[in-house]
Amino acid sequence: MIQFFRVSKAFGANTALADINLRIRKGEFVFITGPSGAGKTTLLRLIFGAEQPTEGQILINGINLNKISSTKLDLLRRKIGFVFQDFKLLARKTVLQNVAIALEVTSERHAIIRKKTHQMLRAVGLETKEQSHPLQLSGGEQQRVAIARAMIGDPLILLADEPTGNLDPDITREIMILFRSINLKGTTVVIATHNRELLRNTEQRIIALIKGKIVHQ
């Protein structure tokens, strides 16, 4: 599903990732861990196609990201959900509108968009918050909106960047149960985190980065 072949990424004189070889199978649930600055976010952005590697090749679902047009890349990215660290919710739009916007760019029929948005908000337990605005929600609720938005397009891959960074332990457990239920439906889930409590007793695969290099996978 996700393959890196000798991938490096530099930003000017700074090397974010160096000589990464990686394979994540379809349906896996994987944690990417490491200290701040280790390259976790850069790795996710490369998978999403938001960054291009300085060196090496990346294959997503058999497609070489180095060799496809920008139009085809945009189509591929519709099958990759991304839960951002800072949620990236639109403050002036309602919860319903924030989730629906992910489908509106696909030119789906309005009735279908509303139906799927209602279903997704029920799935994350926010059916009573549809007309609320992000600033009226708790951090955990905002995270659920971000997850709903990432999942509404039925992605093959779900990426999450520090999704529990600002949440208390109880809400963190709820969010991780939600990610696990998404994974059990067949979605490949990749979560970047430095939260040691999440990793302490997990049965999921852990990929560790230090200074842009994989030290364990």
Q: Sheet containing 14-24: which strands, arranged edge to edge?
A: 14-24, 2-11, 55-60, 63-64
Q: How high is the pLDDT of residue 172?
A: 86
Spans of all domains in the chain: 25-52+68-216
Those residues of the chain that have pLDDT short of 70 are: none
Task: Compute the distance between CA of residue 24 and CA of residue 22 in angstroms, rounded to an integer.
Answer: 7
Q: Which residues, 6 or more positions from 88, have their beta carbon under 8 angstroms from its beta carbon? A: 146
Q: How high is the pLDDT of residue 164?
A: 84
pTM of the model: 0.92
CATH placement of domain 25-52+68-216:
3.40.50.300
Q: How high is the pLDDT of residue 45?
A: 96
Helix 139-151 to helix 95-104 angle (10° resolution) is 20
